[in-house]
Every structure is written in structure tokens, then in C-alpha cells.
Amino acid sequence: MTEKKDDNLQKKNTYLLDDSFSPTNLTTKIVLLYVILGFIWIIVSDLAVNLLFGEAGNSQLVQSIKGVFYIIATAFVFFIVIKRSMQIYSMAISELKQAYTELDVSHKISLELDEKLYKLAYYDSLTGLPNKVLLENTVNQYILQHPDDGLIGFVYFDIDEFSNINEVKGHSFGDELIIEIAKYLKKEIKAPNMLARIGGDEFVLALFDIDHLDQFIPQVEKYTHIIRRTYLLDEDDFFVTFSSGVALYPDHGKDYITLLRHSDAAQSIAKAKGKDQIVIFDDEMVTIIKQQTELLNQLRHAISNKEFSLHYQPIINLRDDQPVGVETLIRWQHPIKGFIPPLEFISLSEKNGFIKEISEWVFKEVATQYETWDSEGKQFRIAINISAVMLMSEPFIPYVNEWVKLNHLDSSKITLEITETAIIDDIQKSIHVLKQLKKLGFIIALDDFGTGYSSLTYLQKLPIDIIKIDRSFINNIKPNTEEFHVLRYMIELAHHLNLTVIAEGIETIEQANMVKKYEVDFAQGYFFCRPMPQTRVLEYFKEINPR
């Protein structure tokens, strides 16, 4: 098949390219033929006439007939020669025409291909929005054209809890959500402004048409409000919010890279401040981000460098002031910086995916500790703080299941402390996960109770055993204030729901007496005992309860 095609192509090329088909060549050929035919005719026809008619051949009539024959014969020969040449010419012309059409088609195809390549290079295939490259080119070009009088509002925004959606509903739903968001915004953003998708759930909005800075933030707020809404994905409603960071050209950066970096930094701050907000870049942020990056780099080596340790804070039964168990609290002893409190690195490691390693390290340590205490005949409860990220990740349940089996633990002696903020984002899923944990025999405590939103309303729905009233709540309490009544109501409600109540952060005897009076079951705090290293725990238990 292809050979045949090649053959045709070669033929085509011979018609088109053969030099012998030039007009001069053909004319020379015909003239030469004419001369040769003329000579041959003169010699052959005279000979033939002489042979046939002898002297009579010289007569006027025979000469005229001879002339007529000559004309007929040459006309016939020329007819064939010219016809053949013309045929070849017309074939060549039609080939030429066809070649031209083909050239035209292939030109069109190559134009289309060019366009496709352009799209691939400059547009995001999922949303059809401009990509990073086009954004960078556009911003650079603008800056070149407006070195002194330009103004760009650079807004970096990112979907809050996107990884959660991806994890719960799968990546195709995540993609669908991104497409939806892009659709809503596309309608609003008009040239010269540009909305680009620059990564997974990250978009950048570059506004080139700002006249006054005071109009700029309301404009950004307007856009965020359009997409801050409920999206229906696979018959489930998802309320989606955004964290945005703003950097301005030329104030916060004189080139694309700096603008991107600084708006991203502001966006991280918006996330850290509790998400769902817009933060404008300032110079302090660079320092914060630098410090965080540095801390994260050091955190990565903390496990292998054995810089982590666990401390334990006793939990006291308020009826007899005897310890009933301990809460595990992680400590990071940095070789240069010294002690770094968990609140400074836990949320950082949650954001950077490092929390899994840390949590698994904690679980391993607790298992070893449990065995030591168990062999000493001390079987008190151990409470472990569980990060929200871990709790909501799919492999968590199988992991703790394996952990209990492998280490022959009695799960009814293990309390898992879960913060309110961890479950509030997705109550339904939380209930499901907590139920599974309870099935495995764990005790569940709701940590930091009283700091969240509508704590009391969903308390009844959650499969939990303990609530831990937050330190801040205890600290601020004064008799007969509103908080005071809320606290009393909380305790009553918890007891009504058969929940154990632990008061955290008891620092003074007054606080201890107050929580005793209101029938709080257990308490923790510096008043009773500070968190202590594992080596001290057994001593403490012996001192307090020598039996």
C-alpha cells in the first residue's frame, strides 16, 4: 500500500520536475522532426514516384498528390506528437493543482497543530484557564511596558480543605470542583485581567486594570464571594471557602517571581490565621515563612536525631486525688534552639505531610512504654493526642488496629484525644471514624472542649466517652459570671449524657476546689503535677500511692 503510494508520488514528481518538458525542448523536438520528416519525404517520395511512374512522375498532378500526402502524413505525425506533449502538460498542470491543494491543506493542518501546541503550552488542560507560563509572560510583558506607571494586583488563592475533599471523595471529584470554580470565575474576569490555574487547587488572579487601591480589595472580595459557596458533588453538598494572599506590583515585588512568592506567603498566613480570608502581604511575612521553612527542615531530621521525647502528665481522680492515668505530650529538644513547644511544630508538620511520621513515632514510643509499665504491674490509662489530619486519613484505622495487635495492648486502657476542631469540619465522617475506633475498644476523649463553635449542640451525636474542658475556659472563670453558668451547664449536660468530665489546666487550689464542687470527675494541671519524663512517672505513682 505504502509502496504504491510512493510510486505515485515519484511519478508525480517526474511530471513536474522533468526538464525535457520545457517549451524550448518541445519546440526544438518538433522542428527537428519536421526537418527530418521533410528530408525523408523528399528522398523517399521521389524514389517511390520514380519507381512507380517513371518519367510520368514529374507531372504536375503527381507532384500535387505527393504534396497533399506530405501534408496529411506530417499533420498526422504532428497531431500525435503534440497531443502526447499536451497530455503530459495537462497532467503536469493537474498534478500541480493537486499538489497546491495538498500544500494548502497541510498548511491548514500545521496551523491547527500550532494552535494546539500553543494551547498545551499556555493553557491548563483541565479548566482551559491560562497556566503559569502564560501568566508569567503576561505579567513580565506588562512590567516591561509599564516600568514606572504600572499597578498590578496579584491574588494567590487556594481552596480550603481541598486535600480533604480529594481524600474523601476521590480525585475526580476534586477535579470536578476545580472545573466548577473556574467556570464561575471565568465569567467574571475580563481582559486585560487574567485568571490562571497554577497548580492543584491554586489559582492566581492578576488584575491589571486597578485605578485606585481602595477599589481593589472590594473587587477581590467580590470575586471570592462568587465562588465561596456550596457545590454539589456526587449528590453531596460541599461548602467551599478560600484563603487568599495579595501582593501588589510594584510595592511588594518588582518581578513575577517575587510577586508569586509574596502572594503565596500571604496566602499561607491566611491559612494559618484560620482560613477563609484575604491577607495582604507585608515584609514581616518573609521572616515568618523563612523561619517556618527552616523549622520544617530541622523537623525532618528530628526523629533520626532522636530529638523527640514523650512527657506524661498525670490525670487525677477528683474524688480521692489519686492519679488514674497519664496524658502523653510530645517534646522536641532542638540541639541549638532548645525546647520547641508542640503547638509550634504540630500544625506545621500537619501542613507539610510530616505529621504521619511524628504520630507513628508517638505510637511506637507509647507501645514500648506501655510494656514497661505493664511489666511493673502498673496498668493505668494512657491518653494519646491524635492530629486531625491523622484521624481523617484513610489508613488510620487499619494502622491503630495493627498497632494494638502487634503490641498486645489492651485498647480499653488507651484514650485517644481528639480536638473539637478536628471533627467539626466533617461531622458525619468523624462520627463514622470514631465509631470504628470505639469498636476497636479505645476510649475517646473530646479535647479542648469549650473553645469550638456550637460545642453543645453536637455533643449528643458524637460517640465519645470523655470531654476535656479547655484550660482557657477554666482560667477565665469567675463565680456568678456568664461563663461560670455555662461551665456548670456543660458539666451537667455531659453527666446527663454519661460522659466523664476532665478539667484541664488546674493551676490553683481555688480552681481545684471549684471543679470539685461542680462534680468534675478528673483533673489535670500544674497544681497537681506538671508533665514529666517517662523515668519519673513510676516514682510519682509510687509516691502518691505507695500501695
Residues at the contact surface with ligand C2E, assessed by CB under 6 A: 313, 328-330, 341-343, 346, 362, 385-387, 417, 447-448, 471, 504-507, 524-526, 531
Q: How far is the CB of 322 from Ca ion (least distance, A)?
A: 20
Q: How far is the CB of 460 from ligand C2E (least distance, A)?
A: 23
Q: Which does 262 bind (CB under 5 to 8 A by kind): ligand C2E, Ca ion, none?
A: none
> Which of 358, 447, 455, 529 touches Ca ion by CB under 5 A?
447
CA 65 to chain centre: 98
Q: How far is the CB of 297 from ligand C2E (least distance, A)?
A: 20
For ligand C2E, the closer CB: 256 or 363: 363
Concatenating the DSSP letter of every residue in 221-271 gives: HHHHHHHSEEEEETTEEEEE-EEEEEEEETTT-SSHHHHHHHHHHHHHHHH
Q: Which does 500 bind (CB under 5 to 8 A by kind): Ca ion, ligand C2E, none?
A: none
The C-alpha atoms of residue 341 and residue 390 are separated, in whole angstroms, by: 20
Concatenating the DSSP letter of every residue in 85-130 gives: HHHHHHHHHHHHHHHHHHHHHHHHHHHHHHHHHHHHHHB-TTT--B
For Ca ion, the closer CB: 151 or 501: 501
Q: Which does 531 bind (CB under 5 to 8 A by kind): ligand C2E, Ca ion, none?
A: ligand C2E
Report whether 446 contacts 464 (CB < 8 A): yes
Nearest to 466 by CA among 493, 436, 446: 446
The C-alpha atoms of residue 488 and residue 44 are separated, in whole angstroms, by: 140
For ligand C2E, the closer CB: 248 or 391: 391
Using DSSP's 3-state secondary structure scheme, residue 206 falls into strand
Q: Which does 362 bind (CB under 5 to 8 A by kind): ligand C2E, Ca ion, none?
A: ligand C2E
For Ca ion, the closer CB: 227 or 490: 490
User: Pairing state of beta strands 522-523 and 308-317?
Assistant: antiparallel
Check residue 385 for interaction with Ca ion (CB under 5 A). yes
The C-alpha atoms of residue 506 and residue 83 are separated, in whole angstroms, by: 116
For ligand C2E, the closer CB: 280 or 384: 384
| Identity of the residue numbered 281 | F
For Ca ion, the closer CB: 504 or 521: 504
Q: How far is the CB of 448 from Ca ion (least distance, A)?
A: 4
For ligand C2E, the closer CB: 258 or 347: 347
For Ca ion, the closer CB: 245 or 525: 525
Q: How far is the CB of 304 from ligand C2E (least distance, A)?
A: 18
Report whether 400 contacts 437 (CB < 8 A): yes
For ligand C2E, the closer CB: 176 or 447: 447
The C-alpha atoms of residue 453 and residue 449 are separated, in whole angstroms, by: 10
| Identity of the residue numbered 214 | D
Q: How far is the CB of 191 from Ca ion (least distance, A)?
A: 52
Using DSSP's 3-state secondary structure scheme, residue 180 falls into helix
For ligand C2E, the closer CB: 200 or 342: 342
Q: Which does 342 bind (CB under 5 to 8 A by kind): ligand C2E, Ca ion, none?
A: ligand C2E
Q: How far is the CB of 158 from ligand C2E (least distance, A)?
A: 23
Nearest to 257 by CA among 436, 79, 132: 132
Q: Which does 463 bind (CB under 5 to 8 A by kind): ligand C2E, Ca ion, none?
A: none
Here the cell at position 360 is: 507513628
CA 361 to chain centre: 28
Q: How far is the CB of 429 from Ca ion (least distance, A)?
A: 21
Compute CA distances 501 → 63, 110, 381, 498, 521, whole Å: 141, 74, 15, 9, 5
> Which of 158, 201, 448, 521 touches Ca ion by CB under 5 A?
448
Q: Which does 521 bind (CB under 5 to 8 A by kind): Ca ion, ligand C2E, none?
A: none
Q: How far is the CB of 471 from ligand C2E (least distance, A)?
A: 6
Q: Please calculate the CA angle 286-288-292 and round it to the nearest 5 degrees.
A: 115
Here the cell at position 213 is: 487601591
Touching Ca ion, residues 152-181 (CB under 5 A): none
User: Which three-class secondary structure string do you get for 487-510?
Assistant: HHHHHHHHHHCCCEEEECCCCCHH
Nearest to 158 by CA among 248, 240, 247: 240
Site string for Ca ion, 406-445 (x = CB under 5 A): -----------x----------------------------
Q: Which does 313 bind (CB under 5 to 8 A by kind): ligand C2E, Ca ion, none?
A: ligand C2E
For Ca ion, the closer CB: 270 or 503: 503
Q: How far is the CB of 438 from ligand C2E (least distance, A)?
A: 19
Q: Which does 526 bind (CB under 5 to 8 A by kind): Ca ion, ligand C2E, none?
A: ligand C2E
Q: How far is the CB of 358 from ligand C2E (least distance, A)?
A: 7
Q: How far is the CB of 126 from Ca ion (least distance, A)?
A: 41
Q: Which does 330 bind (CB under 5 to 8 A by kind): ligand C2E, Ca ion, none?
A: ligand C2E
Compute CA distances 296 → 195, 281, 354, 390, whole Å: 31, 22, 9, 18
Strand partners, 400: none
Report whether 424 contacts 452 (CB < 8 A): yes
Q: Which does 507 bind (CB under 5 to 8 A by kind): ligand C2E, Ca ion, none?
A: ligand C2E
Site residues, Ca ion (CB under 5 A): 385, 417, 447-448, 504
